[in-house]
């Protein structure tokens, strides 16, 4: 038994090795009689040359993304919205506009003023996406991802259609409600006296005229064909200036 208390490093190394083998054999001998957790030996060699053996009852997987809790995974950072080509965006606008009986130039005008066609846009107040939907509004419209271009456009067009129905197809009131909220428009019974809201209505109407003329040139139609959507345009739409806001 003197070798157990020897100061010789070589004897100590061999003793540790044989002790480890005996311990591992004992584990294997009882494995068939009782269920054991998975065990895996770990080997570590120190600078002084002495070998140490470690045993663990936990299996480690360095690539695992699982966190504590049932079926929870490490959240991944959100992907940046894919930038749409003008043709793709035009297709989404046309599709949603036809479904909700709105002029496509009007939808395009709202997107131009709200986000300048930036699907990742977020305002200081929290409005999100191409048509700048507020989180509560997006939830009501069942828009799960406001930064998804198709979801955002369909949600925004649906909301604009609801506002036009609420205010008897009077465009300037529907646009004011889109910006300031329908409660404010109902309160004032006109475009609320807010500079931001008045500017929004003016800018959207101006862009609406611009895109309508472009469509008229492309389709060789007339501006009057837009009235088939049942929308009552402001009387001064065709001569609108900054001093003649609706």
Under 8 Å between Cβ of 171 and 232: yes
Tokens 């005996």 sit at which residue? 22
By the 10 Å C-beta count (0-12 exposed, 13-18 middle, 19+ buried), 46 is classed as: exposed
How far apart (Å, rounded) are the C-alpha atoms in residues 106 and 149? 17
* DSSP designation for 185: H
How far apart (Å, rounded) are the C-alpha atoms in residues 60 and 44? 16
Encoded tokens for 84: 């749409």
Hey, which residues are catalytic here?
114
Q: Where are the alpha helices (DSSP H) in the chain?
A: 9-31, 86-99, 104-115, 135-140, 149-166, 171-180, 182-188, 195-219
- Report the first-to-last Cα separation within the chain, whole angstroms: 104
Under 8 Å between Cβ of 232 and 169: yes
């Amino acid at each position: 038994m003197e070798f157990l208390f020897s100061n010789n490093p070589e004897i100590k190394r061999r003793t540790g090795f044989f002790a480890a083998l005996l311990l591992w054999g004992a584990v294997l001998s009882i494995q068939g009689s009782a269920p054991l957790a998975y065990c895996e030996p770990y080997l570590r060699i120190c600078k002084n040359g002495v070998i140490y053996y470690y045993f663990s009852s936990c299996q480690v997987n360095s690539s695992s993304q699982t966190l504590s809790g049932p079926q929870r995974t490490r959240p991944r950072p959100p992907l940046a919205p894919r930038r749409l080509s003008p043709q793709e965006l035009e297709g989404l606008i046309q599709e949603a506009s036809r479904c909700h009986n709105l002029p496509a130039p009007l939808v395009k005008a709202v997107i131009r003023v709200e986000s300048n066609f930036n699907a990742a846009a977020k305002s200081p107040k929290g409005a999100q996406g191409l048509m700048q939907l507020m989180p509560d509004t997006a939830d009501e419209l069942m828009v799960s991802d406001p930064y998804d271009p198709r979801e955002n456009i369909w949600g925004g067009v649906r909301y604009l259609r609801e506002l036009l129905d609420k205010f008897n197809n009077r465009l300037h009131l529907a646009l004011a409600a889109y910006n300031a909220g329908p409660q404010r428009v109902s309160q004032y019974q006109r475009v609320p006296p807010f500079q931001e809201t008045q500017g929004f209505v003016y800018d959207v109407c101006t862009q609406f005229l611009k895109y309508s003329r472009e469509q008229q040139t492309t389709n060789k139609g007339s501006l009057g064909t837009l009235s088939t959507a049942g929308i009552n345009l402001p009387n001064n739409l065709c001569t609108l200036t900054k001093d003649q806001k609706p």
